[in-house]
């Protein structure tokens, strides 16, 4: 009995941590998990508000176990760790031989998503794979069906937060569905961060009959519409094909120099913070056009803005707009919920270029500053980013956001189904080495696809422990999922060969499909191999 829990176990703190108790009952259904005191072994769940968020400690005293976790998620993560170590017998949970003490290497570990292209519930129509101004084509309950699966995965794998652009949209349930998701996620230790932009991206309410929807507000206040310097949209040099941005209500922008615009945004942020149990907000200045009205030009008449125009930094955004408006939205949200994570998007490919630093000095300490990198710029970051440089940035703390290893970089194929685990490990190590505090990746496709599942698990584990070796990840995580160490190595080799070449010799594809098929079995490992085999079969069918 000293090495495991069985029979009747008394649980203290279950009322405060209902999902932890739910997970224990689901994982070990033949153990009688009884709330409250009594004779026999006990499991105690405690939140320590002074510990780092997400950290946890598991202490054994004979048959009594105490899980102490940092705020918001620590107890959940600690219980998931116990479950993972506890074996598969439904009536006996094996206890660890020694105490467990875990702290995340990167504090901010986040999935970035759009509602319309997040496809985790695969048994419904309406899936999309790219775009920013898209209608929602799934059934109304599709939003919750997708995102509750996302939350479950994050909770089990210590991923702290999920950014959602399109968080509020009438076609997928509006306020009620968003409230439901927030309650569900908070109970499971996952922060929901609605994505908004200052005077664009629909305001606070992306689409619907709401006073906080930008199109509705501009219809009532047309004098505050932006006069864009260019046409709506943006292009990415690391993407092989041009993007299309059809004109619609989704592409409307408001002038950031109009005092009425930022007051409306402030009030919208207050409503968002008070109405939903959110864990934070992801705020950007918008990235598909800059207002060029006379007031905006005068306000931005400074050398930094001129340099950005000359050197193409900020073609689609203005750091001056960001620096003057983000602090107001940050302050309004924090005055209501001080523990919110408030991300500010510093936009693309400029982390190593100090052209924007003068504007950024106005940004408040404590905002989470997100520096996005495309694939080519990532090469510069790997070579040029240093701990001393990060320490002197005017923005603190800082996180890296991966804009590749998804649909937004690459050739005509999508990288969202590639095996991206290795690059996520590289990014986590660079963040750790240079003093960056977090990493954000795209989290839209379902982990039903084994390459995606391994990529997400790699992100989860390397961002938690950036010093984890690739070989250990393959041996400890991939191997049990794929049928053993040698099978896992073969899976990685096949997947990475496929990812590296847009076109391949048909005979080589046939040989790779045969290798994948040889691992197939009637179990979960076989299902994972089948998903890789299907990738190859589709390429053979298309002749490449």
Looking at 78, 102, 126, the residue that finishes a domain is 102
Please report the pLDDT score of residue 290 as a whole number.
Answer: 83
More confident residue, 504 or 299: 504
Please report whether residue 368 resides in a domain.
yes
CA-angle at 542, arms to 538 and 115, nearest 5° = 55
pLDDT tens across 131-169, in order?
Answer: 888 999 999 999 999 999 999 999 999 999 999 999 999
Residues 125, 195, single domain; the answer is yes
Residues 421, 493, single domain; the answer is no
Please report the pLDDT score of residue 288 as a whole number.
Answer: 72
Residues 134, 46, single domain; the answer is no
Please report whether residue 39 resides in a domain.
yes
Please report whether residue 95 resides in a domain.
yes
Residues 206, 120, single domain; the answer is yes
Which of 19-33, 294-308, 525-539 has the lowest average pLDDT? 294-308
Please report the pLDDT score of residue 1 as a whole number.
Answer: 45
Looking at 57, 81, 102, the residue that finishes a domain is 102
Please report the pLDDT score of residue 432 as a whole number.
Answer: 98
Distance (Å, whole) CA 117 – CA 137: 10
pLDDT tens across 431-487, in order?
Answer: 999 999 999 999 999 999 999 999 999 999 999 999 999 999 999 999 999 999 999
pLDDT tens across 334-368, in order?
Answer: 999 999 999 999 888 889 987 677 778 889 999 99
More confident residue, 258 or 288: 258
Please report the pLDDT score of residue 314 as a whole number.
Answer: 52
Residues 116, 74, single domain; the answer is no
Residue 528 is encoded by which pair of tokens?
Answer: 């994972």
Residues 310, 406, single domain; the answer is yes
Mean pLDDT within 283-297: 83
Q: What is the DSSP string of 473-489?
A: HIIIIIHHHHTSHHHHH
Please report the pLDDT score of residue 310 as a whole number.
Answer: 56
Residue 304 scores a pLDDT above 70: no
Please report whether residue 473 resides in a domain.
no
By the 8 A CB rule, do 175 and 5 touch?
A: no
Q: Coil, strand, or helix at residue 187?
A: helix
Please report whether residue 321 resides in a domain.
yes
pLDDT tens across 483-500, in order?
Answer: 999 999 999 999 999 999
Residues 442, 499, single domain; the answer is no
Mean model confidence pLDDT for the chain:
93
Confidence of residue 291 (pLDDT cuts 50, 70, 90): confident
Please report the pLDDT score of residue 311 as a whole number.
Answer: 56
Residues 151, 235, single domain; the answer is yes
CATH number, domain of 366, equals: 3.20.20.80
More confident residue, 240 or 531: 531
Mean pLDDT within 504-515: 95
Residues 304, 258, single domain; the answer is yes
CATH number, domain of 46, equals: 3.30.379.10
Q: How far apart are the first and last CA of the chain?
A: 58
Residues 381, 507, single domain; the answer is no
Q: What is the DSSP string of 462-522?
A: HHH-TT--HHHHIIIIIHHHHTSHHHHHHHHHHHHHHHH-SS--HHHHHHHHHHHHHT--S
Please report the pLDDT score of residue 193 as a whole number.
Answer: 98
Specify burial of residue 430 (Cβ count, 10 A radius: 0-12, 13-18, 19+): middle
pLDDT tens across 262-273, in order?
Answer: 999 999 999 999
Q: Coil, strand, or helix at residue 281?
A: strand
pLDDT tens across 368-385, in order?
Answer: 999 999 999 999 999 999
Confidence of residue 315 (pLDDT cuts 50, 70, 90): low
Please report the pLDDT score of residue 536 as a whole number.
Answer: 95
Residue 56 φ/ψ, nearest 5 degrees? -155, 160
Mean pLDDT within 277-281: 98
Which of 30-34, 225-229, 256-260 has the lowest average pLDDT? 225-229
The total of structural domains in the chain comes to: 3
Please report the pLDDT score of residue 312 as a whole number.
Answer: 55
pLDDT tens across 207-233, in order?
Answer: 999 999 999 999 999 999 998 877 776
Above pLDDT 70, what percent of the chain? Answer: 96
Tokens 């069918």 belong to: 541
Name residue 161's beta-bridge partners. 110, 191
Please report whether residue 425 resides in a domain.
yes
Q: Which domain holds residue 516?
A: 478-542
Residues 330, 414, single domain; the answer is yes
Looking at 73, 102, 131, the residue that finishes a domain is 102
Residues 32, 126, single domain; the answer is no
């Amino acid at each position: 009995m000293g090495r495991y829990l069985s029979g009747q176990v008394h649980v203290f703190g279950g009322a405060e941590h209902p999902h932890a108790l739910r997970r224990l009952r689901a994982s070990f259904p033949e153990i009688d998990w009884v709330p409250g005191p009594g004779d026999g072994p006990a499991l105690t769940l405690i939140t320590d508000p002074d510990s780092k968020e997400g950290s946890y400690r598991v202490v054994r005293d004979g048959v009594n176990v105490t899980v102490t976790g940092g705020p918001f998620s620590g107890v959940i993560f600690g219980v998931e760790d116990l479950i993972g170590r506890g074996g598969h017998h439904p009536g006996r949970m094996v206890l660890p031989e020694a105490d467990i003490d875990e702290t995340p290497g990167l504090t901010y570990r986040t999935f970035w998503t759009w509602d319309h292209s997040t496809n985790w519930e695969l048994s419904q129509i309406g899936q999309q794979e790219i775009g920013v101004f898209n209608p929602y084509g799934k059934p109304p309950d599709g939003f919750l069906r997708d995102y509750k699966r996302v939350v479950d995965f994050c909770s089990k794998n210590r991923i702290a937060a999920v950014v959602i652009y399109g968080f509020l949209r009438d076609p997928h349930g509006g306020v009620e569905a968003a409230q439901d998701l927030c309650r569900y996620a908070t109970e499971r230790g996952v922060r929901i961060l609605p994505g908004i932009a200052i005077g664009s991206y629909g305001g606070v309410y992306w689409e619907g009959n709401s006073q906080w929807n930008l199109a509705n507000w501009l219809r009532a206040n047309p004098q505050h519409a932006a006069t864009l310097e260019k046409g709506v949209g943006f292009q990415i040099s690391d993407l092989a094909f041009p993007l299309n941005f059809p004109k619609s209500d989704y592409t409307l922008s408001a002038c950031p120099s109009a005092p009425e615009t930022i007051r409306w945004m402030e009030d919208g942020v207050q409503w968002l913070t008070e109405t939903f149990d959110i864990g934070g907000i992801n705020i950007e200045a918008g990235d598909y056009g800059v207002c060029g009205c006379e007031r905006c030009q005068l306000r931005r008449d400074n050398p930094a803005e001129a340099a950005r125009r000359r050197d193409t930094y900020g073609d689609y955004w203005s750091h001056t707009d960001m620096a003057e408006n983000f602090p107001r939205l940050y302050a309004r949200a924090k005055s209501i919920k001080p523990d919110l994570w408030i991300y500010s998007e510093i936009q693309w490919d400029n982390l190593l270029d100090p052209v924007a630093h003068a504007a950024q000095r106005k940004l408040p300490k404590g905002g989470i500053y997100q520096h996005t990198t495309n694939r080519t710029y990532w090469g510069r970051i790997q070579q040029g980013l240093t701990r001393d440089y990060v320490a002197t940035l005017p923005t603190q703390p800082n996180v890296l956001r991966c804009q590749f290893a998804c649909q937004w970089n690459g050739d005509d194929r999508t990288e969202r189904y590639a095996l991206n685990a290795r690059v996520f490990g590289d990014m986590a190590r660079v963040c750790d080495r240079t003093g960056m505090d977090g990493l954000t990746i795209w989290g839209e496709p379902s982990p039903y696809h084994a390459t995606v599942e391994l990529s997400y698990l790699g992100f989860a584990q390397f961002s938690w422990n950036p010093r984890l070796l690739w070989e250990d990840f393959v041996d400890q995580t991939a191997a049990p999922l794929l049928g053993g160490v040698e099978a896992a190595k073969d899976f990685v080799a096949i997947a990475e060969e496929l990812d590296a070449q847009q076109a391949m010799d048909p005979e080589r594809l046939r040989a790779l499909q045969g290798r994948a098929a040889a691992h197939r079995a009637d179990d979960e490992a076989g299902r994972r191999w089948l998903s890789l085999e299907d990738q190859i079969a589709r390429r053979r069918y298309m002749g490449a």
